[in-house]
Chain A
């Protein structure tokens, strides 16, 4: 049955993008088992496979948005690290000695 392959492909795509398809895989295995017996209601099986494909596509779309957000987070983090590193490199010594002078500026060397 071609639609089983179609359902599997949709699940594989969602899974490759990081989606959790465990429950749908379990349903697909039940359908495969039923189809392999040779005794099954074709229209019912087709509608179940359609549901799997639809749900897998929904999981895939959600996961793609989540992946995009993760990449945005990674980009922002890298940018923040660069800014903080430049800040520490250029400005930190001045702040350090300003604070040192503020705290210990009245010390007298004897």
Chain B
């Protein structure tokens, strides 16, 4: 290869690389490989595992709810708290068909998360009860919250006050 050809090839390569580096982020944008949301429930001390397993009806139960957004877009979340038992299984596709105790709403920007204090009051006594927390996402097209298939549960005995 002649010296002018070597220099020509090097210059052409440098120009091409600079062009790609400066335009690729604009043209390609940010790609989300696998969008997902996070849901977690923490105990009163903000730790995993220190949940109460024995509560009285009407008693206030303090917990923390953790939400994380990695969907690549803004998300409007609703977490339903429901009380049930072992008789009905929880599904990843259908919402748990038991009564809603309460719900918690939060809007999160992409790559943001929140740990917020929540308060639950259970009114129905029972042994081996599960409190199911279900994540739903707002769909602007239908103006409804749709079940995202993400859930967590706490097992507990709920007793009536003596």
User: What is the interface of chain A, defined by CB distance below 8 A to chain B?
Assistant: 2, 5, 8-9, 11-12, 15-16, 21-22, 25, 28-29, 32-33, 36, 70-71, 73-74, 77-78, 80-81, 84-85, 88-89, 92-93, 96-97, 100
Contact = CB atoms under 8 A, between A and B. Distances in A.
Interface stretch (B19-27, B45-53, B56-64, B80-88): B19-27
A21 B109 contact: yes
Given A12-B140, A97-B4, A22 B19 contact: no
Contact of A25 (B26, B103, B107): B107
B110 interface: yes
Interface residues of B, number: 29
Contacts of A84: 15
A2 B143 contact: yes
A82 to B, nearest CB: 9
Top 7 nearest A-B pairs (CB, nearest first) are: A81-B19, A96-B4, A15-B74, A9-B140, A74-B26, A74-B23, A12-B74
B12 A8 contact: no
B74 A81 contact: no
Nearest to B12: A88
A81 to B, nearest CB: 3
Interface in B118-162: 138, 140, 143
Contacts of B76: 5, 8, 12
Interface of B: 3-5, 7-8, 11-12, 15-16, 18-19, 22-23, 26-27, 73-74, 76, 103-110, 138, 140, 143
B110 A15 contact: yes
A25 B12 contact: no
B73 A11 contact: no
Contact of B19 (A12, A15, A77): A77
A89 B140 contact: no
Contacts of B26: 70-71, 73-74
A5 B78 CA distance: 12
Nearest to A92: B8
